Chain A
Amino acid sequence: MEQPILSINNLTKKFGYLTAVKDLSFTINKGNVYGILGPNGSGKSTTLGIVLNVVNKTSGDFHWFDGDISTHDALKQVGAIIERPNFYPYMTAEQNLKLVCRIKGVDESKISEKLEIVGLLDRKDHKFRTYSLGMKQRLAIASALLNDPEILILDEPTNGLDPQGIHQIRQIIKEIAKNGTTILLASHLLDEVEKVCSHVVVLRKGEKLYSGRVDEMISSHGFFELKSDKHDELIQLLENHENFGKVKVEDDLITAFLNEPMSASDFNTFMFKKGITLSHLVKRKESLEEQFLQLTDNQ
């Protein structure tokens, strides 16, 4: 039995004439890593804002966990970072985290433990305003982890960071995901989502296009990339084979899309029997980016 952490039903948010989120429904279950995908302005941040109690919904509803506690109490079991790290610039890292402990009702002993995770323990007595953006973002993660949250919500956590910063944040996220914490990651960077998420919700203009497992996003069995000396023979063979649909040729590279599941070794054996030797054989699935573009273009 899957344990729901967040259920959203027919959620709608209008800003004047603009509908930022339209009739959105999905459920977040415990233990998975979710990505919310969508181009800029697709309603990702608005949706997160609503469930995090900072944006008012227009209609629909949502509830945290079993739905029997108020949103602000539920948020004490949630860790969230929205867009940019917001702290009191005149307080040190430790003082800022102490304040968060007071709000969440967490013991202050957690502070050094969490600062250690994000590598800021030696800077804990420095004022927040002296931090670089990367450090601020890491402090935000430490703050979100203070209560050992049931779910960690990250909205564009690597936005504006340099490559080292991005790498550090990803490393931390992976580390956290490994420990079994549910994660909800909003991003428009697809490779980011692809690297860490098992499930996705795809949004466009506030509407849900897809929600489910990443690998089931498009019913596809993948494709082969092939090269051979017997170029024309190979193309003919593929076009007559029932397992293959579209066959694309670019120079000497042949891309054959599968209609039925077929393993690379089966295919190789089959080729061998037909007397065709391949100089290049790769079986691939569409990358998330390709799937995403396909999905958002189709509608």
Chain B
Amino acid sequence: MLRLIKLELQKLWLNKVSRILIFVSFILPFTVLVLSSIKINFFGFFTLELGELGIFNFPIIWHITTFFASYFKFFFAIVVVSMIGNEYSNKTLKQNLIDGLSKKEFILSKFYTIVFFSLCATVLIGLATFLIGLYYSSYTETAIILREVEFLLAYFVKLVGFFSLCLFFGMLLKRSAFALGFLFVLYIVEWLAFWGAYEALGNADDAFKVKNFLPLESMYKLIDQPIQRIVMTKFPEKTEIAYDYAVHWYEIAVVLGWTALFIFLSYRLLKKRDL
């Protein structure tokens, strides 16, 4: 396993473009997080301190940081599709196999790398969130800090699932640009499926339940948008805006199911293909 990760890391690290993208995907969410946590003085006109909004309080901070950090996954998604696309266009995939890498090992080396990066991203965001929370939060009891820490798990699963989807599209289309384009196509297809379900079932709630099982939506649903929750904390009397924002085990199970399927399909595809 270590050998396979090392192999892939060498391929990524020596490539200037992917090295920059990896940096960006780690540094950018981190910077945004730190910047948003400091008090910004707009030339003396007014000061903006997001901390005062209470969004850096435990436990809601876990929810907020993981939600916004997950948007930066697109940078690493480019790395994932190009690490497949490059192997095809340089024909190094063929050479790797001839040199004695098995097709299974090839897919695994990509998958392990995805897991490795997702883990690093999770640990980093977790650490940053913890420190910022300690600094700003009005409550610092251990029990409160540890509440809703499952958002970190959801974040990790979300990353692994999304990158596995990218890996599969990369294997399917062999070209990085097409694979990224296909992500957008899938996004539209999911909305079409929603529309179809709406026509068939006759109400939006049931149609959303169907959409929740589709790959992109199931990943998005892992961490629900926290804006509404912030509003909720400000206006606790407005019960009509209450919603279910928690991370549920079945949401995680659905995404893990997709992940397993994408990796398996990538392997099948490679196995069947003549290079």
Chain A: residues with CB nearer than 8 A to chain B?
15, 49, 52-56, 70, 72-76, 78, 80, 82, 84, 86-91, 95, 98-100, 102-105, 143
Contact = CB atoms under 8 A, between A and B. Distances in A.
B102 A72 contact: yes
B274 A75 contact: no
Contacts of A88: 11, 14-15, 86, 90, 92
A132 B197 CA distance: 58
Interface residues of B, number: 28
Interface string B221-254: 0000000000000000000000000000000000
**Could you tell me the dominant secondary structure of chain B's interface residues?**
helix
Given A54-B274, A87-B90, A98-B10, 18 more contacts: A15-B274, A54-B275, A55-B275, A72-B97, A72-B101, A75-B99, A76-B99, A76-B100, A84-B91, A86-B90, A86-B92, A88-B90, A89-B90, A95-B10, A95-B14, A99-B7, A99-B10, A100-B99
Given A88-B14, A88-B90, A75 B98 contact: yes
Contacts of B14: 88, 90-91, 95
A53 B10 contact: no
B31 interface: no
B137 to A, nearest CB: 45
B100 A73 contact: yes
Contacts of A76: 99-100
Interface of B: 3, 6-7, 10-11, 14-16, 86, 90-92, 94-103, 105, 271-275
Contact of B96 (A55, A95, A103): A103
B11 A104 contact: no
Contacts of A98: 10
A102 B90 CA distance: 19
Contacts of A99: 7, 10-11
Nearest to B91: A86
Contacts of B274: 15, 49, 54-56
B141 to A, nearest CB: 49
21 contacts: A15-B274, A49-B274, A49-B275, A52-B97, A53-B97, A54-B94, A56-B274, A72-B100, A72-B105, A73-B100, A88-B90, A88-B92, A90-B16, A91-B14, A99-B11, A100-B99, A102-B6, A102-B7, A102-B10, A103-B100, A104-B100
Closest 6 CB pairs of A and B: A76-B100, A72-B102, A75-B100, A86-B95, A86-B91, A54-B275
